[in-house]
Structure 1
Amino acid sequence: MDNLTHTFVGLGVGELVQRSLPAEADAPRQRTRHRLLLTACAAASNFPDLDLFLTHLLPAPLGYLLHHRGHTHTLLYAIPQALLLLAMLWVFWPNARQLLRTSPHARLGLGLAIVLGFLLHMSMDLLNSYGIHPLYPFDPRWFYGDLVFIVEPVFWVAFGVPLALAIPNRILRGLALGALTLFLAGATWRGYLGWPSLAVLLVLGGVLAALRITRRQSRRAPALAALLSVGFIAVQGGASSAARSQVEATLHGIDPASRVLDVAMTAFPAQPLCWSFVSIEENEQAGSYRLRRGMLNLAPGALASCPAGLTDPAATEAAAPGIALAAPWTGDLAMLRTLAGRDCHVNAWLRFARMPAVDGDSATDVRFSATPRGNFATLDIADSARTPCADVPHWGYPRADLLGPALQ
């Protein structure tokens, strides 16, 4: 997820922890604890992304692909990060240090805020199709949620509205709410968010605002925000599973001789009925594998009208009701396996690539072919050969099922 989403969610959960604990003995101590818990949870919710400073350890694009969402996004390496954050708060915040020495509620709250913040970061990053490997080094595999768009306005509204209304200054409060409204309106006008989704988000924001205004000291608004977010994720999970099943059935009908290995699902913002996807199929007998991009509407012509800003213009072939496919890309299995075995750069790149399109000149992960800044996952094979292979993390190969003997 983007760091603004991580911050909103961290602040919102920090607020929920703060309001769930008994109050401190006096107002100054209560204010210090409030600021401490929100700061700690928001910082912990962003801390793992400091791995961006490690991306220079490998040449582009391998540095970003293998070191971002790397060691700092694992449960084991969250422990030293949490201790570092705790030490920084203790050393550089004298008032918080004094409070923590005397208040068991503040110590409990700080522990909860930091632990929840790190778990929130990894959980939120797990929700999309990029993936993380949280169990490394015990299990090096990547795990993918395929549930939520990487910039999801549901979280912005659910946590952002109560947070904005908590700002003491009326002008700043109005600016924060106005900025959130303008973001939603702009995303809708540019075709990234559907009009029905905008209406639902505005109603949701209104309900949260009313609850926050009428219950100023209650934890009901942040608790409702968390509950709505969990419910949204559950709905997305059911929709993603149904969409993947439809795609797999359609692909099997098109080519029964091929085996569908994986379908990477990408949600539309605040729209459980609309999805884009990339699939990979293997035909061992023919010595080939195939990648397809496509769009899916779970309710074609009825409930859903997918926003135009995120549709794939290449997906024009109607393969089934609600499913449109782009022209497939077919690769040579023998060449892929040969490169994986003899070229250390391609081998390293394959520790990231979930949807690898590899020819003799370049390797690209088709998941990112439609990103506005271009496909950041593309590796120039000839150019990469000029640099040595070093500092390659031993993540699992997402396509170990396709590479087979090349990894042995």
Structure 2
Amino acid sequence: MDNLSHSLVGLAAGELVHRILPAEADPARQRTRRRLMLVSCWAASNFPDLDLVLSGLLPSPLGYLLHHRGHTHTLLLEIPQALLLIALLWLLWPGTRAVLRASKPARAGLLAAVGAGFLLHIGMDALNSYGVHPFYPFDPRWVYGDMVFILEPVFWVAGAVPLAMMLGNRFWRALPLVALAGMLAYFTVRGFLHWGSLAALLAFGAGLAMLQQRAGQAGKQALSVALLGALGFVALQGAAMRHGKTIVADHLRQLDPASTLLDTSMTAFPANPLCWIFVSAERDKVAGSYRLRRGMLSIAPKQLPLDACPAALSEGAPGPGTQLVINWSQEAALARLRELQLSNCRFDAWMRFARMPALGADNASDARFSTTPRGNFTTLPLDDNNGQPCPAGVPGWGYPRADLL
């Protein structure tokens, strides 16, 4: 997920932890404890992304692909990260030391806020098609949620609105709310959000604002509803994703009954459970080949036909009322994929990331990311291994397409 989502959800969770705890007897200590809960949960919600500094350990693009969402995104290594963060807060923030020494609720709250932040980070990253491998080294396989867009405004609204309504000054309450509404409107005008999604987001935000206003400064109902609303949205996306995969599987079975569907990667549109981009991987054992297809899908074309999905993220030119369109496909020999994996150690390392490996004449790329604004950041030149040493320190993630190797 984007770090704005991580930050806002982390701040909301930290605020909720603070409000659940019994109040401190000293008002000054109560204020310090609140700041500690906010900062610790916010920091824990972003801490794992410090693995970006490790990208230089491997040649491009392997460094980013294999080290981002790497070891810092595993449940086992969350423990030393949490201990390091707590130690930094203790050493660098003298005001909190007195609170933690004197208050058992503050100590319990700090553990809860830090633990929640790290779990939220991995859990939110697991929601999209990029994937994580949280159980490494016990299980090296990638986990793909395939249900939420990597920039999700539902999380922005859920985190920002209750927090903004807790600000004491009316101007400072209004400023972030107006900025958030303006940002959502901008993305809608630019074609990233559907107008129906904008209306739903504004209604969700207005409901949270009214709930927090009625609850008062000490109320926690809006925070609870916001986090439950975000969970409900994830559940809705999960159900829509599963239905979408069924539609794709049925369509591909009609196109080629001889092929076996191995996997379908689903990418949602933001705040939109109806519009999806999919990439499928099929294998034909008889022909000794595998096929990738990339397309778009509306799971409810009567309510929202494919040509009405947000234009900035749409691919191809679907006709009116179309439910599914395939915009790109590639068939490649399994023998070539396997020969590259055995003979080219850089390609072998790359295959520890590639879920949808598309082979060109002189490069390989993951078809999940073929239309990003900065191009396909996964592209690997296939001649880079000639006469060069193999990269050292390649993480032992499982091969997403072990079923082809």
- Name the TM tier (shorter chain): over 0.9
* Separation in structure 2 between the aligned mates of residue 180 and residue 164 of structure 1, nearest angstrom: 10
CA distance in structure 2 between the aligned counterparts of 1:15 and 1:55, rounded to whole angstroms: 33
Please state whether the residue corresponding to 1:383 is helix, strand or coil: coil
Which residue of structure 2 lines up, in the alignment, with residue 393 of structure 1? 395
How far apart are 1:387 and its partner, in Å?
Answer: 5.1
> What residue number does 2:276 align with?
275
Show the 5 A alignment for 1:159-178. Answer: 159-178=159-178
Say which is worse superposed, 300-309 or 276-285, in terms of deviation. Answer: 300-309
Partner residue of 1:128?
A: 128
Give the C-alpha shift of residue 316 in structure 1.
Answer: 4.7
2:315 counterpart of 1:312: yes
- What RMSD in Å do the two structures reach over aligned CA positions? 1.4
Q: Aligned letter for 2:243? A: A
Give the 5 Å matches for 1:3-402.
3-216=3-216, 217-303=218-304, 305-313=308-316, 316=318, 322-385=323-386, 386=388, 388-402=390-404
Matches of 1:229 and 1:262, distance apart in 2: 27
- Count of residue correspondences: 401
Where in structure 1 are there 5+ consecutive unaligned residues?
404-408
Contact map agreement 1:316 1:326 (CA 8 A) in 2: no
Show CA shifts across 1:202-241 (max 9, x none). Answer: 1111110011112121110110011001100000010000
Deviation digits for residues 118-141 of structure 1, max 9, x if unmatched? 000000000000000000000000
In structure 2, the gaps of 5 or more residues are: none
Residue in 1 that maps onto 2:2:
2
Q: 3-state SS of the aligned residue for 1:46?
A: helix
Give me the whole-angstrom Cα distance separating, in 1, the residues matched to 2:48 and 2:172. Answer: 29
1:401 & 1:338 partners in 2: Cα distance? Answer: 15
Q: Deviations over 1:274-306 (max 9, x none)?
A: 111101111111011111111001111334531
Output the CA distance in 1 between the equivalents of 2:323 and 2:156: 29
Other structure's SS at 2:383 match: helix
Specify the SS of the correspondent of 2:202.
Answer: helix
Query: What fraction of aligned residue pairs are identical, expressed as a percent?
Result: 58
Alpha-carbon distance in 2 for matches of 1:316, 1:9: 36
Cα contact 1:12–1:163 (8 A) shared by 2: yes
Task: Give a deviation string over 1:303-362, Cα, whole Å, max 9, x none.
Answer: 45311111012x6589x9501111311111100000001110000000000000124411
Q: Distance in 1 between matches of 2:237 and 2:117?
A: 22
Match of 1:406 in 2: none
Bigger Cα displacement from structure 2, 53-62 vs 214-223 = 214-223
Partners in 1 of 2:351 and 2:169 — Cα distance?
51
Judging changes above 3 Å, is the alpha-carbon distance between structure 1 residues 339 and 360 closer, same or farther for their aligned structure 2 residues?
farther
Q: Distance in 1 between matches of 2:275 and 2:327?
A: 16
Secondary structure, aligned partner of 2:149: coil
For 1:382 and 1:169, how far apart are their aligned partners in 2? 61
Letter in 1 for 2:326: L
Question: For residues 95 and 372 of structure 2, what CA distance do their matches in structure 1 show?
Answer: 45
Aligned to 2:98, what secondary structure does the other structure show? helix
Does the 8 A contact of 2:259 with 2:284 survive in 1? Answer: yes
Greater CA deviation, 281-290 or 387-396?
A: 387-396
- The one-letter amino acid paired with 1:389 is P
* TM-score of the two chains, using structure 1 as the length reference: 0.96
Counterpart residue type for residue 366 of structure 2: D
Distance of 2:13 and 2:254 partners within structure 1: 46
CA drift at 1:166 = 2.2
Aligned-pair CA distance for 1:391 = 1.2
SS at match of 2:275: strand
For 1:142 and 1:78, locate their aligned partners in 2 and report how far apart those are by CA, in whole Å: 17
Q: Is the 8 A contact 1:355 1:367 kept in 2?
A: yes
Distance in 1 between the 2:365 and 2:303 partners? 36
State the TM-score, normalized to the length of structure 2. Answer: 0.96
Tell me which moved more, 294-303 or 342-351.
294-303
Q: Is the 8 A contact 2:147 2:267 kept in 1?
A: yes
1:388 CA displacement:
3.3
> Match for 1:189: what amino acid?
V
Residue 382 of structure 1 aligns to a residue whose secondary structure is coil
Kindly state the Cα deviation for residue 197 of structure 1 after the two structures are TM-superposed. 0.8
Q: Deviations over 1:12-57 (max 9, x none)?
A: 0111111111100121011000000010001000000000000000
Deviations 1:131-157 (A, max 9, x none): 000000000000000010001111111
User: Which has the larger displacement, 381-390 or 95-104?
Assistant: 381-390
1:281 alignment partner, SS class: strand
Q: What residue identity is the alignment partner of 1:400?
A: A
Q: Distance in 2 between matches of 1:387 and 1:367?
A: 29
| Cα distance per residue 1:149-192 (max 9 Å; x no partner) | 00111111111111122233444333211211111000100111
